[in-house]
Amino acid sequence: MIDILVVTKNKGKLREILDIFGFKNINLKTLKDFPPIEIEESGNSFFENAYIKAKKAVEAFNVISMGEDSGLVVKVLDGKPGIFSRRFAGLNATDLENNVKLLELLKGVPLEQREAYFISSVVVMKPDGSYIKGEGKLEGYIIDEMRGTGGFGYDPIFFIPQYKKTLAELGDEVKNKISHRYRALMEIKRQIKDFLSL
């Protein structure tokens, strides 16, 4: 059994990764299983932040580590909130505060101009510094009301036309088969057997 540390404290994100990344001979651990460390997300891209998370954990604990960074990109807002998605309305902003700020910025913008996508970047790194990466995107639109009780983050305002629902309305079973994180993790899954010699 090979241990992989998933470098996140975000419960929603962790639950998704655990649901999606099922491998019989891989045991996913979390930051709760290790002494506390501080990781500053100082990168300029989702990949850089995922890489920083994995590298810091590898250096601190000498264990194979998975870093993931993701966020929402709104085209009409020049890519905002982007890498600041989690702290868009402030350092300790709640999901609701982030949603409200985004909706304020989009007031008066017609739906067809509210194109957006979620992006997820995942890095799995070994203690020798070698790594594999995966990236996934999910396209949709930002609607002007929150709908649904599932998911987390911007899910209640992220509308997917082919389902005629927000991510928060879809439910975990459907979401975890189409999400940006699912697509990034599938790329990792395709590479990981060779990478870890499983």
Query: From CA 36, how far away is CA 124, in angstroms rounded?
Result: 20
pLDDT at 125: 98
Point out the residues that are catalytic: 69
Phi, psi of 27 (to 5 degrees): -105, 115
User: Mean of the pLDDT values across residues 140-159?
Assistant: 95
Under the banding of pLDDT at 50, 70 and 90, the label for residue 120 is: very high
| Domains delineated in the chain | 2-196 (3.90.950.10)
109, amino acid identity: V
Which one has a higher pLDDT value, 104 or 13?
104
Q: Which of 43-52, 157-166, 168-177 has the lowest mean pLDDT?
A: 168-177
Query: From CA 65, how far away is CA 28, in angstroms rounded?
Result: 9
Query: CB-based burial of residue 78 (10 Å sphere; 0-12 exposed, 13-18 middle, 19+ buried)?
Result: exposed
Query: From CA 22, how far away is CA 30, in angstroms rounded?
Result: 15
Edge-to-edge order in the sheet of strand 158-160: 26-30, 2-7, 65-74, 115-125, 131-142, 158-160, 165-166
